[in-house]
A = this chain, B = another copy of it.
Amino acid sequence: MGTRTHRELPTSDELAVWRAHLEAFDIARSRIEARLHHDSQLSTGDYKVLLALSEADGKTMRSSELAAEISWERSRLSGQLGRMEKRGLIRREPCVEDARGSHVILTDAGAAAFKASTIPHLRAIKEIFVDAFSADQIELMGEAAAKLREHLTAAT
């Protein structure tokens, strides 16, 4: 409802919204991460890996399968698994079918750590994120996320 010309730059209000949004959600994310780390000594990376493995058949996945599942680069996962293996959360075994690959296996300690972490983690998400908003707002944010996703998929 304004000029006919196609603006190429954001208005200062739009820019402010972007920055405020970024900042607020960053703080929320880091609070949730801090809680997870404090309660369960897990990073969100750990949690993501443990979650995927917990749901996997036989608590095992090929490493690249796992990377695809959680949308990570292989090298990122490699480092992550190295750290997790050192802490005994997972272990790796050579792969018979394909001697290049390896199986990532959830250890009992890893399964236990994950299990113990979920309730407190979900509680943190509820308290820090969900409780900030009305049900309607949450729904709107879901729609916004979907719309953004779509926009990003479309092009650029």
A9 at the interface (CB under 8 A from B): yes
A72 at the interface (CB under 8 A from B): no
A99 at the interface (CB under 8 A from B): no
Task: Using known A-B contacts A25-B25, A31-B152, determine if residue A130 contacts B20 with beta carbons closer than 8 Å.
Answer: no
Q: How far is the CA of A133 from the CA of B152 in the complex (A)?
A: 12
Interface residues on A, range: 35 or more
B27 close to A141 (CB less than 8 A):
no
Residues of A91-106 contacting chain B, CB below 8 A? none
A56 at the interface (CB under 8 A from B): no
A9 close to B126 (CB less than 8 A):
yes
Residues of A2-42 contacting chain B, CB below 8 A? 7-10, 13-18, 20-25, 27-29, 31
B28 close to A138 (CB less than 8 A):
no
Q: How far is the CA of A23 from the CA of B20 in the complex (A)?
A: 17
- Of B21, B29, B138, which one neighbours A141 at CB under 8 angstroms? B21
Question: Chain A interface (Cβ within 8 Å of chain B)?
Answer: 7-10, 13-18, 20-25, 27-29, 31, 119, 122-123, 125-133, 137-142, 144-152, 156
The 8 A-B pairs at the shortest CB distance, nearest first, are namely A132-B151, A17-B142, A20-B145, A21-B145, A24-B145, A24-B148, A10-B126, A24-B149
